[in-house]
């Protein structure tokens, strides 16, 4: 039976603002299926975002939704989670939102290991503002503010998350929507801070400028240029020059709200 | 809990006042001269079933406070100049989304890092206009340790009743000085909670004003799923740029303040017989003013005194009436002239307005004010 997205979409809120060929919608669908798979209750689930094309996603889905300021979603989400730890908190963010203006919040959320699942809609560009380079725009690529090629170097979201202390780290792509669903679902199930680097596409600003073809061409590129983590580990030669996808880290590590609950339990009686 | 007499700093009184008002969440980032509030609540909140978190910066702290408030937890953050500047974008978010919260700014000197340990009152205009765009502003300016407590309680009550952020504006002197004061017994001061919806979830519209200009607010996780956005939105909470929907909402945000002056405005007006001079002051400058006025009276000069407890909205109508009686209004403030502009605007040329200013990190002394009184009398 076909998956019933309608049960999670807010009536009357479509069409969305995304351009034809934009992959943000594919990632949204993966998130919806992951939430369904983990059987999260709508009333107990909060989806938080910052500002950007990706950050418009919460408006379309029927949960407690919070569309905040550029880069700050994790700060808001941390307050929500700390004040009511029983809520499931999911954050969606663009690459610029999560890693440039929100970079400080990103590394500290990783370090704190608070039970929030972050999905980075990583399209290597500032889509909403018309195609300026982002912290994940590859070196040399064109953007409206790197007209002669990007002199800057990109963050690797996976390495950054692991280094900063996130306890679940995965990477998927919008082409591989089914595995992406699994990676997100595992992140939701994981108790601690989870980061899913969801590679997607902005054909309108990034693709066009760098002559990467249509939205479909850009998605198909993922097919030929990624390799699963398990294969990459066994046969490193197969991963050469390719992007590795899969689960990179899944550690049991005390979660922040659990640790704080222990403090409350210890000192609470002393009131 | 029964009444309790303590010897507290202003900052501690703020923290205690927050707990009295039902504060369950604090997020902050250390900065002199406000840090004692965070330290106090780091100890106390977990004992009272609340939560404390030190965030990575003031931007995140302000964000966390709004997030926590959306779950229904009364929330506080505390900071000073540089940190207040960082909070401003998210303060505007709280204004437009109408999320109650309280922000303490213990003013210190200078722009930028300025004088971290020196008092100042130079954030008067920032408190009103700091965040971008038209927005409502409430700023309370307690003048003693006891009043820091009561005004903190009032700040929470106003934030909840009006669904808007409220700024508590103290200064290094008020924040750090110790005074004996009484923590009132529980129930002695009325505590307000935000209006919550009574309609069934499927009928809930988060910005529905059919029952009044303060729409009921549902807690995240309470069964009312709603959308919160910093974009201009309609009564359903979803973004809109339809002019006929945008402006009424912008005006309503302002009206929440202008139509509730009876509960927001607060001042002390001490009128003397036949005085031709009046002083408008707040915070620690008001303390110096009080001594100056007493000294002036000893020398036979009567001076009226308007001490503000609410700075924003500014009580223009009160100042305007004062100008009918007196010839000169003196405005002592620890800055190079901010509130004085509001006073001038209010008197509409009916009286002379003159400042006593200081921006060297030292408090304005009673003698400085006395000298001015003599000069203009
Ligand atoms: C404080 C602030 N600075 C800048 C902006 C302008 N702005 C809006 S979205 C955006 C970048 C969005 O890029 P990304 O996060 O990658 O999301 P995408 O649109 O690509 O999905 C910027 C710079 C803003 N809204 N707020
Ligand atoms: S600008 Fe790019 S990221 Fe934004 S909706 Fe269009 S295609 Fe998607
Ligand atoms: Mg992007």
CB-based contact B70 A66, cutoff 8 Å: yes
> Is residue A1 very low, low, confident or very high in pLDDT (cuts 50, 70, 90)?
confident
Global pTM?
Answer: 0.98
Domain membership flag for residue A258 = yes
**Inter-chain touch B27–A79, beta carbons under 8 Å:** yes
* CA of B41 vs chain A CAs: smallest distance (Å): 13
Instruction: Tell me, in angstroms, the distance from the centre of ligand 2 to residue B168's CA.
Output: 42
Per-residue confidence (pLDDT) for residue A268, from 0 to 100: 84
Residue nearest (by alpha carbon) to ligand 2 atom 5? A18
* Tens-digit pLDDT profile for residues B308-356: 999 999 999 999 999 999 999 999 999 999 999 999 999 999 999 999 9
Proximal ligand: closest to the CA of A54: 1
Most B-contacting residue of A84, A92, A93, A258 (CB-CB within 10 A), to test interface: A84
- Count CA atoms within 13 Å of residue B80 on its CB side: 33
| Domain assignment present for A15 | no
- Shortest distance between the Cα of B174 and any Cα of chain A, in A, equals 27
Residue A18, ligand 2, Cβ within 6 A = yes
The size of the A-B interface in CB pairs under 8 A is 144
What mean pLDDT is predicted for residues B225-238? Answer: 98
pLDDT digits (tens, 9 = 90+) for A102-129: 999 999 999 999 999 999 999 999 999 9
What pLDDT score does A225 carry? 98
Alpha helices in chain B (DSSP H): 10-21, 35-44, 58-70, 81-97, 124-129, 145-162, 172-176, 243-258, 261-264, 283-298, 316-325, 339-347, 366-376
Total count of domains within chain A: 1
A→B interface, C-beta within 8 Å: 10, 13, 42-44, 46, 48, 58-59, 62-69, 72, 74-84, 86-87, 104-105, 108, 260, 263-264, 267-268, 270-271
Residues in chain A: 271
Is the pLDDT assigned to residue A271 strictly greater than 60? no
Residue-averaged pLDDT of chain B: 97
Q: What are A181-239's pLDDT values in tens digits?
A: 999 999 999 999 999 999 999 999 999 999 999 999 999 999 999 999 999 999 999 99
What confidence score (pLDDT) does residue B235 get? 97
The residues, ordered by sequence, that sit 6+ positions from A143 with a Cβ below 8 Å of its Cβ are A125, A126, A131, A132, A133, A134, A137, A150, A205, A206, A209
Q: Residue A269's pLDDT band (boundaries 50, 70, 90)?
A: low
Question: What's domain B1-264's superfamily in CATH?
Answer: Thiamin diphosphate (ThDP)-binding fold, Pyr/PP domains (3.40.50.970)
Return the domain boundaries, chain B: 1-264, 267-376
> What local confidence, expressed as pLDDT, does residue B85 receive?
98
Residue B358 makes CB contacts below 8 A (sequence gap 6+) with B334, B364, B368
CB contact burial B144-179 (16+ within 10 A = b; e otherwise): bbbbbbbbbbbbbbbbbbbbbbbbbbbbbbbbbbeb
What confidence tens digit (pLDDT) does each residue in B264-298 have? Answer: 999 999 999 999 999 999 999 999 999 999 999 99
- Mean pLDDT, residues B16-39 taken together: 98
CA atoms within 13 A on the CB side of B169: 27
Nearest to A270 among B47, B64, B228 (CB): B47
| Nearest-CA residue for atom 3 of ligand 1 | A70
First to last CA, chain B: 51
Has residue A2 been placed in a domain? no
Look up the domain containing A131 and give its range.
20-270
Q: What is the average pLDDT across B61-75?
A: 99
- The 10 Å Cβ neighbour count of residue B300 is 7
pLDDT band at B110 (very low <50, low <70, confident <90, very high): confident
Closest ligand to residue A22's CA: 2
Please check whether residue A25 lies inside any domain of the structure. yes
Tell me the three state secondary structure of residue B50: coil
Q: How far is B224 from chain A (nearest CA, A)?
A: 7
Query: Closest ligand to A16 CA?
Result: 2
ipTM exceeds 0.95, yes or no = yes
pLDDT at position B158 over 70: yes
CA distance A129 to A117: 26
Say if domain B267-376 classifies as CATH 3.30.70.2860.
Answer: no
Q: What angle do CA A159, A160, A166 make, to 5 degrees?
A: 95
Q: Could you tell me if residue A11 is inside a domain?
A: no
């Amino acid at each position: 039976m076909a998956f019933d997205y309608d049960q999670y979409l807010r009536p009357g809120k479509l069409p969305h603002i995304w351009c034809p060929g934009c992959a943000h919608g594919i990632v949204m669908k993966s998130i919806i299926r992951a939430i369904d798979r983990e059987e999260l209750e709508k009333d107990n689930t909060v989806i938080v975002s910052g500002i950007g094309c990706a950050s418009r996603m919460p408006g379309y889905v029927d949960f407690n939704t919070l569309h905040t300021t550029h880069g700050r979603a994790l700060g808001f989400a941390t307050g929500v989670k700390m004040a009511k730890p029983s809520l499931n908190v999911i954050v969606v963010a663009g690459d610029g939102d999560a890693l440039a203006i929100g970079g400080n919040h990103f590394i500290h959320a990783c370090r704190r290991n608070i039970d929030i699942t972050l999905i980075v809609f990583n399209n290597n560009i500032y889509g909403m503002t018309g195609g300026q380079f982002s912290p994940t725009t590859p070196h040399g690529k064109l953007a409206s503010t790197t007209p002669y090629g990007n002199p800057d170097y990109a963050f690797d979201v996976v390495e950054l998350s692991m280094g900063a202390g996130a306890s679940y780290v995965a990477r998927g792509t919008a082409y591989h929507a089914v595995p992406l669903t699994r990676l997100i679902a595992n992140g939701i199930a994981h108790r601690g801070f989870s980061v899913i680097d969801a590679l997607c596409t902005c054909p309108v600003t990034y693709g066009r400028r760098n002559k990467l073809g249509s939205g479909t061409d850009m998605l198909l590129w993922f097919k030929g240029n990624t390799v699963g983590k398990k294969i990459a580990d066994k046969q490193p030669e197969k991963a050469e020059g390719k992007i590795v996808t899969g689960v990179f880290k899944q550690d049991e590590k005390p979660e922040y709200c659990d640790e704080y609950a222990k403090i409350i339990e210890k000192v609470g009686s002393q009131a | 809990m029964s009444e309790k007499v303590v010897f507290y700093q202003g900052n501690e009184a703020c923290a205690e006042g927050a707990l009295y008002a039902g504060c369950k969440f604090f997020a902050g980032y250390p900065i002199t001269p406000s840090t004692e509030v965070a330290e106090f609540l780091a100890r106390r909140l977990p004992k009272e079933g609340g939560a404390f978190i030190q965030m990575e910066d003031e931007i995140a702290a302000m964000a966390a406070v709004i997030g926590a408030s959306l779950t229904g937890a009364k929330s506080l953050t505390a900071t000073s100049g540089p940190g207040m500047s960082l909070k401003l974008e998210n303060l505007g978010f709280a204004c437009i989304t109408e999320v109650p919260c309280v922000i303490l700014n213990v003013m210190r000197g200078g722009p930028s890092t300025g004088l971290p340990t020196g008092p100042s009152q130079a954030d008067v205009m920032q408190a009103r206009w700091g965040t971008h765009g038209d927005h409502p502003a409430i700023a309370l300016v307690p003048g003693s340790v006891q009043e820091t407590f009561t005004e903190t309680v009032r700040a929470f009550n106003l934030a909840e009743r009006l669904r808007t952020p409220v700024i508590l504006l103290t200064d290094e002197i008020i924040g750090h000085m110790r005074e004996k004061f009484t923590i009132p017994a529980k129930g002695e001061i009325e505590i307000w909670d935000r209006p919550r919806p009574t309609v069934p979830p499927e009928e809930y519209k988060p910005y529905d004003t059919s029952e009044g200009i303060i729409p009921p607010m549902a807690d995240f996780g309470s069964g009312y799923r709603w959308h919160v956005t910093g974009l201009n939105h309609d009564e359903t909470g979803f973004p809109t740029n339809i002019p006929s929907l945008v402006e009424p909402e912008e005006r309503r945000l302002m009206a929440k303040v202008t139509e509730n002056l009876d509960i927001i405005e607060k001042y002390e007006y001490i009128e003397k017989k036949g005085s031709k001079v009046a002083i408008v002051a707040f915070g620690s400058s008001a303390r110096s003013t009080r001594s100056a006025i007493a000294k002036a009276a000893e020398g036979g000069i009567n001076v009226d005194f308007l001490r503000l407890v609410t700075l924003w909205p500014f009580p223009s109508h009160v100042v305007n009436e004062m100008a009918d009686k007196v010839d000169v209004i003196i405005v002592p403030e620890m800055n190079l002239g901010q509130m004085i502009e509001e006073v001038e605007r209010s008197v509409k040329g009916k009286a002379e307005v003159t400042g006593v200013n200081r921006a060297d990190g030292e408090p304005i002394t009673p003698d400085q004010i006395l000298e001015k009184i003599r000069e203009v009398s």
